[in-house]
Amino acid sequence: MLLITTNDRFLLEKEYTFHILLHQLLGLEYRIAYTEEKNYRLRLPNGGEIVVEDHFFSNQKHGDFLRMENLPTDAATFYSPFDHCPLTSIFGYNHFVFNEKEITCGLDIFASAFFMLTRWEESVAKERDQHGRFPGNKSLAFKAGFLDRPVVNEYAELLWQMFARLGWEPPRPPLQYKLSMTCDVDHPLLWWSASDRLKTLGGSIFKRGDLREANFWLQHHFFQKQDPYDVFDEWLDLFEKNDLAGHFNFLGKRPPTSDCWYPLEHPFVKKLIEKIAGHGHIVGFHPSYEAFENQSVFEKELASLRALSPTPIVTGRQHYLRFEAPHTWQVWEETGMEWDSSLGYPEAEGFRCGICQDFPVFNFLTRKMLHLREKPLIAMDVTLAIYRQYTPETAFEKLQNLRREVERHGGEFVLLWHNSSWNTYFWAEWREVFRNFISQ
C-alpha cells in the first residue's frame, strides 16, 4: 500500500486533496503517517519514493490560510518531463530531480489542486459583479490562461507518471468520457396568452425596430400552435437517439414579481415535469435569483418542486450561476441534495474547478468534506453566444477543444443549453452547434 508522510499542519485539507487525487482519480488505497518533515513523501510498495515539495501549507504562520496575501498572482505553465503535455504550477515551480529510486517534484501538486477544487480563491477575493458573482475574468485560471485545461486531472496524471517511472503501476480505474446535457428551464413557454404573441411581435417592430426579426416570427412561429420555447419533445427524442439522459432544472413556487417567474402548478408545467420523469430523464432544482443568499427561500422553493415532482429532487443548478463558496454548497448539503452543477463561469467556458469529473466538495470554513458532490459546468449557450460573442463556427470549435480535454481524462462534459435558446430570431443559427455537438 502507498504510504504518505507529511507534517501535521492543515491535516484535513491535505487529507481531502489526497482523497481526490489518489483515491478518486487514480483508484489507490493509501495510509498517512505524520512526521516533522516539511515536504510530502510518497513511499511506494516497491521501495521507490516521491518527494513533492510543500510550497504552501508548511509556510502558513497563521491558523488559517484564507488571506489576501496568500492568493497567487500568477502561475507558470511548462511542459511535463514525462509526456511533454502542459502543466501549471499554482504553487511551486518547474523542478524535477530523478534518481534511481526517488523523484523530487518542485510543483506543489497538493496545494495547487486544493486551490482549484475548493474555490477558496473566490472567497478571499472581494470582486463581485452586478449579480453578486465572483467574476470569471478575475480568476487566476482565466488570467494565467489555463481555464481551458483540467489542471487537477493533469496533476493526477503527473503522479501516475512518476509512479510508473519508479516501476510501480497498479491497476487504474476505468474512466470513460460522458456527455451530460442539462437545461435550466427559466421559461417553459414564451407565450402564456394570445396577448403575449402580440407583445413579441410588437417588441420586434416598435422596441427594436427590426423588421427582419418581425418577419421571422410571422414566418416561423406566430401562427403556429406550438410555443417556440416548447422544444421538449424534440429534445427528448434527440437525447434518446444519442443515448443521453437529459437533466431539466425547474424553478420552484415563488411570488409573481420574482425573476423568471412562471406558475409551477400550471397544467403545461405539471405535464412537462411528468413527461420528463416518465421518459427516464432527470427533474432537477433551479434555486431562484432571490434564493441565492436566503436559505429559507431556498428551502421553500425546493419543497414546492419536490411536492410536484413524481421523482426525487436531489440535483440541480443555481439560477444565474449565483454561487458563493463555500456557503452555497453548505445550503445544498443541509437540504439533502446530492449534486450541484453551478460551477462554471458565465463569462468564460472551461474548468472553473480544474477538474472534469464530479467530486465531493470541501467546506474550507468548517474544514469538512461534504456528502454533496459538484458536477462542474464546462460550457453554456449564453457564455458562447452572448458573453464571448463567438460565431457559431468558433463556438463549435471551442466546444470541440474542450471535449478533447475531457476525453483525454475520461471525464464528464456538462453542457447547459436553455430551451429558450432554440426557436428565436437570435438563436436559430445556433441549433446546429447543439445538434452536431451532441451527435458526435
Note the pLDDT of residue 95: 95
What pLDDT band is residue 367 in, cutting at 50, 70 and 90? very high
pTM, 2 dp? 0.96
Distance CA 43, CA 156 (A): 16
Tell me the CATH number for domain 178-190+227-439. 3.20.20.370
Identify whether the C-beta of residue 112 lies closer than 8 Å to the C-beta of residue 151.
yes
Identify whether the C-beta of residue 162 lies closer than 8 Å to the C-beta of residue 40.
no
Distance CA 275, CA 262 (A): 18
Map grid coordinates 518531463 to a residue. Answer: 81
**Buried b vs exposed e over 102-136: b needs ≥16 C-beta within 10 Å?**
ebbbebbbbbbbbbbbbbbbbbbeeeeeeeebbbb
Note the pLDDT of residue 301: 98
CA-CA distances (angstroms) from residue 405 to 19, 150, 242, 346, 411? 22, 7, 21, 20, 9
Map grid coordinates 509556510 to a residue. Answer: 59
Three-state secondary structure call for residue 43: strand
> What are 309-343's pLDDT values in tens digits?
999 999 999 999 999 999 999 999 999 999 999 99
> What are 387-399's pLDDT values in tens digits?
999 999 999 999 9
Q: Is the dihedral of CA 322, 306, 253, 226 positive or negative?
A: positive
Q: Where are the domains of the chain?
A: 2-165, 178-190+227-439
The counts of H helices and E strands in the chain are 14, 17
Note the pLDDT of residue 212: 79
Residue 243 backbone zone (phi > 0: left; psi -120 to 50: alpha; other: beta)? left
Identify whether the C-beta of residue 149 lies closer than 8 Å to the C-beta of residue 90.
no
Q: Where are the alpha helices (DSSP H) in 265-373?
A: 267-278, 295-308, 327-334
Q: From the CB of residue 429, how many other CB atoms can be counted at a distance below 10 Å?
A: 12
> Per this entry, what is the length of the chain?
440
Distance CA 408, CA 181 (A): 19
Note the pLDDT of residue 194: 82
Least confident of 62-71, 244-253, 322-331, 354-363: 62-71
Distance CA 371, CA 157 (A): 25
**Buried b vs exposed e over 313-328: b needs ≥16 C-beta within 10 Å?**
bbbbbbbbbbbbbbeb
Helix axes 327-334, 295-308, angle to 10 degrees: 40
pLDDT averaged over the chain?
A: 95
CA-CA distances (angstroms) from residue 195 to 139, 192, 255? 44, 8, 22
What pLDDT band is residue 28 in, cutting at 50, 70 and 90? very high
HSE-CB at 134 with a 13 A cutoff on CA atoms is 24
Note the pLDDT of residue 220: 78
Q: 169: closest CA among 2, 6, 410?
A: 2
Note the pLDDT of residue 196: 79
Map grid coordinates 437533466 to a residue. Answer: 247
Distance CA 102, CA 141 (A): 31
